[in-house]
Amino acid sequence: MIEFNHVSKKYPNGFEALKDINLTIEQGEFVAIIGLSGAGKSTLLRTINRMHDITEGSLTVDGTDVMQLRGGELRGFRRKIGMIFQSFNLVTRTRVINNVLMSKVPELSFFRALFGIYPKEDKLNALEALDKVGILDKAFVRADQLSGGQQQRVALARTLAQNPQIILADEPVASLDPVTAKQVMGDFQRINKEMNITILLNIHHVDLALQYASRVVGIRSGAIVYDGPASEVTEEILNEIYEGKQKEAEG
């Protein structure tokens, strides 16, 4: 369970990216975060694994106060949370399986990590992760020979290989064509249902959010203006999320 309790995030320049956020996400939910650029979607996502620190309130994951974690405890905590980015973050000049195996580097000794020596169990786990996202046949192909959608699937497989409880995805389909974006969103949906992994995903494509996620959180100017089932999102709610900023300016 992820719990935001009166969470705010203010940057040194005074900009308040998050304003009094109260949000509870249960294990196994698939939540899409929507809103205008600059609304606070990425900031909200990145506070969960401490890529950004909150400035007020409390944030707990499975009862652990995230802000109290330091050193090895913080690194161990982050091992339970997968992170997927728009840009894939792959080493494109090496093979796909090597990219997936990189999720295991923090668990290796210095010598094994230096020379890329992985236990057989890790290699089998990597192949299984690639199979789950439908690209097992690409395991020994260089990553730069794959399409954008295939590269994002490699990134997803790499995350699955670390056996996460939570996956955070920051605009994972923004650079993909519409057909491929739907395929990748389908992967997220299937993994969420089959593996009961909590998925939080911020996304500009509202139609995909409504089609694949079970719950939608709408953010405007750092504050939550909608939180509920994707099936109950109306045109009026979308106007509140996306046109509210314009109305504020006009007012």
Cα gap 234→32, rounded to integer Å: 15
Place 146 in a pLDDT band, splitting at 50, 70 and 90: very high
The predicted pLDDT at position 249 comes to: 42
Q: What is the mean pLDDT of residues 181-205?
A: 94
Query: Could you tell me which residues come within 8 angstroms of residue 137 by beta carbon, excluding any fewer than 6 positions away?
Result: none
Tokens describing residue 112 = 């094994």
The predicted pLDDT at position 88 comes to: 85
| Cβ burial, residue 89 (10 Å; 0-12/13-18/19+) | middle
The predicted pLDDT at position 244 comes to: 62
Q: Which amino acid is at 147?
A: S
Mean pLDDT of the chain: 91
Cα gap 65→61, rounded to integer Å: 7
The enclosing H or E element of 65 equals: strand 64-65
Q: Are 188 and 201 in contact (CB under 8 A)?
A: yes
- Single out the residue of 46, 60, 131 nearest to residue 96, CA to CA: 131
Q: Is the pLDDT of residue 248 over 60?
A: no
φ/ψ of residue 140, rounded to 5: -110, 20
Place 251 in a pLDDT band, splitting at 50, 70 and 90: very low
pTM to 2 decimal places: 0.89
